[in-house]
């Protein structure tokens, strides 16, 4: 189930195989859905913050854009990236204590 990257609200009606329009927005907070931070290719640690090598650079990652490689992520707010980082930091803290 897809979630909004801003408010973590469920984006019911969006999922596998559903085309997200450029002007679609979150029903809870109104943030743009067709934006980099909602895309499965979005990665803060990657070049241009995108794992898709052919995608053009987008400056404002939170605004709607025309990227042809957009694919809605089911992470919602990059929680899996944050969880992974927290787990790694905990392992390091445990190691050096």
Residue pair 62/70 in contact by the 8 Å Cβ criterion? no
In this prediction the pTM is 0.73
CB-neighbour burial class of residue 37 (10 A; exposed 0-12, middle 13-18, buried 19+):
buried
| pLDDT reported for residue 97 | 72
**pLDDT, tens digit, 9 for 90 and up, residues 23-75:** 999 999 999 999 999 999 999 899 999 999 999 999 999 999 999 999 998 77
CB 71 within 8 A of CB 36: no
């Amino acid at each position: 189930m897809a979630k909004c990257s801003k408010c973590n609200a469920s984006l019911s009606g969006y999922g596998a195989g559903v085309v997200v329009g450029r002007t679609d927005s979150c029903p809870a907070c109104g943030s743009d859905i067709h934006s980099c931070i909602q895309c499965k290719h979005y990665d803060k640690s990657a070049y241009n913050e995108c794992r898709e090598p052919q995608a053009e650079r987008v400056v404002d990652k939170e605004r709607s854009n025309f990227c042809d490689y957009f694919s809605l992520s089911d992470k919602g707010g990059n929680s899996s990236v944050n969880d992974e980082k927290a787990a790694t930091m905990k392992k390091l803290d445990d190691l050096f204590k």
